Chain A
Amino acid sequence: MKKFNEQATAGLYEKGLITENQFEEIKSYRSLNIFSINTELKLFLYLSVLLFTSGIGILIYENIDSIGHIAILSVLLVVIAVCFFYCFKNSKGFQKTETKFEHPVLEYLVLLANILTCIFIGYLQFQYKPFGEHYGLATLIPTTVSFFCAYYFDNRSVLTIAITGLAAYVGLSVTPQDLLHINDFYASQNLSYSAVMLGVLLILWTIYSNRIGLKTHFGLVFLTFALHIISISSISNLTGYVVTWMLFAVVLAASTYYFYKVSYAYKAMSLYVFMIVYGYIGANIVLFRIFGDVDFSDIWELLVLLLPAYFVGSIVMFVILIKNFHKKITA
């Protein structure tokens, strides 16, 4: 409702919190009656890329033996080439800092070209096995291409694809919906170690990039992946055997401390919140394990009565943590 917005601006002006010039400027801007469908149209572009690539993916999958392979491959190759041609033609070349295309459509063309390249290589491997049984290599090549595109064209979406590819190479599935279900950290300890290693690697890469000033705005993406990978793999190991759970408790504590520091440095609420949540869950599990052997059967009613106090304490702690963080990042 426009009249209430204008009222609010007028309220600020009456209290002397904004100057007359500012008030006039705001008023004249509002009278332009701008109705921007920027977000909506970008969303359409984005959806169109998702729909198109999904369609192509299924098309190839369904017709894997019926249409001539060469035909499919060459059509795909032509589309990829056209997309990349436009992207390269209009890009300003590689830059260490954040860059943007002049035309918003190109950003989505990069995404399209990249996903199609992954499909192309996947199809190639399935049909002709150029990498033989080296499936790792078949993952690594799309990953490399994605990293190159992400850094050259400065595209975050492509960067996430590249990171999932890297994780897939070490045997992890880090797509958001799989992170909690598919990876069986409990069954295979090696997977947990490689998960932690991957997380550490991502952190080291972020630190190095920061030092040489290479695409520093990508840092948050890397750190987000690192936080979730390390924390989830350590938490799922906290229920395991005696020696390992202690080891992973230490890992979780260290990562929580590191991300506490780093979320202040990046002023990133999303990192901070998840860091707290994982730390809290981990601390509770550790507490439970330590007291797990004590026999509470006589005083369980007392415990139930204490529970509200425990939660009140946690809430107070969280409120203070969040408040401090707010103060720091807005200062």
Chain B
Amino acid sequence: MSSPSPQPDSGAASGSPSEFLKNIVGKRVKVRIGSGVDYHGLLTCLDGYMNVALEETEEWAGGRKTAEYGDCFLRGNNVLYISALEDL
């Protein structure tokens, strides 16, 4: 591959959001929503909308744990970021 033209499709590159989503399933994550509340848990499944299902979820707000949920669904439009709490 000696083509000097830029890659036409950055979405297919490794490190892209879709690649990240594939690798992060089953890992412990921190999901922060727009209001600044955090949800720590085991990421069981997600989709391209950033809809997220967590297990063993802890809700953190203002520096303290405010709730625990066995299972938890977060609608993607509220998600600010999904951050890995362990190495991928």
- Does chain A bind chain B? no
